Amino acid sequence: MKKVLFIDRDGTLVIEPPIDFQLDSLEKLQFYPGVFQYLARIATELDFELVMVTNQDGLGTTSFPEETFWPAQNKIIEAFENEGVRFSEILIDKSFPEENAPTRKPGTALLTHYIKGNYDLENSYVIGDRNTDVQLAKNLGCKAIFIGIDINPEATLTTTSWKEIFTF
């Protein structure tokens, strides 16, 4: 059975823009320190499938048009692929929080095929910077790695270092 790293995008792989929390231009694109070096090592040295799972509030609406999202998203994927990191799947929920969509993290509707498939979720992880990522891990039956400065007692590991994630 395959283990999976379900990895959040904003605040985990890339720095979340602090003003509007939308990565909607290449000028705002900044990668999380150490992510290339250590995620590449995870991808080549450890036995995990990599899946990007991200909430993008209102993607496709006038407040967050898709034409401003995709250039940055495509650059992110290209940059990781250039470093040998390939995501087997990229799952994007476009709903707003108040919609309470089952596809929105911490909901698992986008991940049903992992729950029903031949995956070792007990030894898999969700990596993210929000409590919803930790809750998603619980909902999937995975462990959580929380990226942040405040300790999250429900996470298996709390850190701000991709090196520490790799070592762990």
| Per-residue DSSP letter, 27 | G
Write down the catalytic residue from 10, 24, 93, 129.
10
Encode pLDDT of 93-133 as tens digits: 999 999 999 999 999 999 999 999 999 999 999 999 999 99
Question: What CATH architecture is 3-123?
Answer: 3-Layer(aba) Sandwich (3.40)
15-39: b or e for each residue (b if 16 or more CB lie within 10 Å)?
bbbeeeebbbeeebbeebeebbebb
Please give the model's pTM, rounded to 2 decimal places: 0.95
Write down the catalytic residue from 8, 24, 129, 133.
8
What is the average pLDDT across 12-31? Answer: 86
Cα 77–Cα 133–Cα 121 angle in degrees, nearest 5? 85
* Helix ranges, the chain (H): 35-45, 66-82, 112-116, 131-140, 162-167
Domain ranges of the chain: 3-123
Residue 121: the pLDDT is 98
Mean pLDDT of the residues in the chain: 95
10 counts as catalytic = yes
Amino acid type, 116: K
24 counts as catalytic = no
Going by C-alpha positions, the residue among 146, 59, 148 that lies closest to residue 101 is 59
Handedness of CA 9, 13, 71, 23 (dihedral sign): positive
Going by C-alpha positions, the residue among 114, 35, 118 that lies closest to residue 82 is 35
What is the average pLDDT across 124-151? Answer: 97
